Structure 1
Amino acid sequence: MQTITLFELPPAEAVRPTRRRRPLALGELPVSSVPAAYDREHLYSPKANTAAAVDHRPGDQFPPLPVPPSGPKAWGAWWRDEASMPTPDYLGLEPGDVITLHDGDTATVVSTCRFGAVVRYALPPSDWHDQDHAEMYVTARNQFGHWYR
């Protein structure tokens, strides 16, 4: 008997299970495609203007992100051509990882780029919206292992 489906499901091997990562020890720099710095108990990826002033681990694939220019057209080009360039990871975060946000909620990494990682987190039910989730960028991790922007 043949069943009718309303949508195509990806094959089971294409679905990547989510995983919770144990945060790196304080002061430990992750192996990453982007540069990694640890300063005042916070892990982040330094931009070109601060990379020279802080001790950092160079990225495996990318140099520090150039400083964004002023002006909407120049900034838009910087965002398209530099900042939003996809990367295999961001400071060790990979798509599918489950992380803790600064407020204690959990989120799943959706994608990574040179600027940061896009994460999706659940929203509580509300009369003010009909979405069940929201997305945001995370660009740094604090001393408690919580990610924030």
Structure 2
Amino acid sequence: MQTALFDLSTPQAPTAPAPQPGRRAPLLLGEVPVSSVLAAYDREHLYSPKDGTAELVDHRPGDVFAPLPTAPREPKAWGTWWKTEASVPTPDFLGLVPGDVITVVRAGTATVVSTCRFGAVVRYELPASPWATETHASMYVTRRNQYGLWYR
């Protein structure tokens, strides 16, 4: 019996992978999504511009919300801003909806847990460790880079 280094038979047309339940097609790179918050694609990064910077970049207005106001620097005022402005729940954030599976910089795949005006909360698995008690961690993502990876 001979072992061939290359298969010279007639190539077969590739078959599309079967869609996985609970997964949606990812947003194409360079595309500005329809979203409840403002969406901008600038210097190959997708993000939601805040008040004061939205006027400086080409953006798509949000379907529900205006630009997020700038956060105050005083701690008590910041807490009020967070509760009344930034953490207000939204139907989506830059096209992400709860249940979406995305790729996060330095964390691998993560599942979107919730969305708000500030960003999307994602949950990802932590590597197994003998001295760690948690198996998962959560973080906000607010931007996506030119490689399709989300980050804060």
- 8 Å CA contact 1:20, 1:99 repeated in 2: no
Residue 115 of structure 2 is aligned with which of 100, 112, 115? 112
CA spacing shift, 1:18–1:106, aligned 2, 3 Å: farther
Q: Secondary structure at the match of 1:23?
A: coil
Is 1:43 matched with 2:17? no
User: Whose Rg is larger?
Assistant: 2
Cα deviation, residue 27, structure 1:
2.2
Cα deviation, residue 57, structure 1:
0.2
Cα deviation, residue 129, structure 1:
1.7
- Which residues of structure 2 form unaligned runs of 5+? 1-19
CA deviation profile, 1:26-61 (whole Å, cap 9, x unmatched) = 321000000000110000000011000000000000
Root-mean-square deviation (Å): 1.5
Aligned to 2:137: 134
**Alpha-carbon distance between aligned partners in 2 of 1:64 and 1:21, rounded to the nearest angstrom:** 27
Paired-residue identity, % = 71
Runs (4+) of structure 1 moved beyond 6 Å? none
TM-score w.r.t. length of structure 2 = 0.83
Q: How do residues 58-77 of structure 1 correspond to structure 2 at under 5 angstroms?
A: 58-77=61-80
**Alpha-carbon distance between aligned partners in 1 of 2:55 and 2:65, rounded to the nearest angstrom:** 15
Q: How do residues 15-94 of structure 1 correspond to structure 2 at under 5 angstroms?
A: 19-94=22-97
- Which residues of structure 1 form unaligned runs of 5+? 1-16
- 8 Å CA contact 2:36, 2:92 repeated in 1: yes
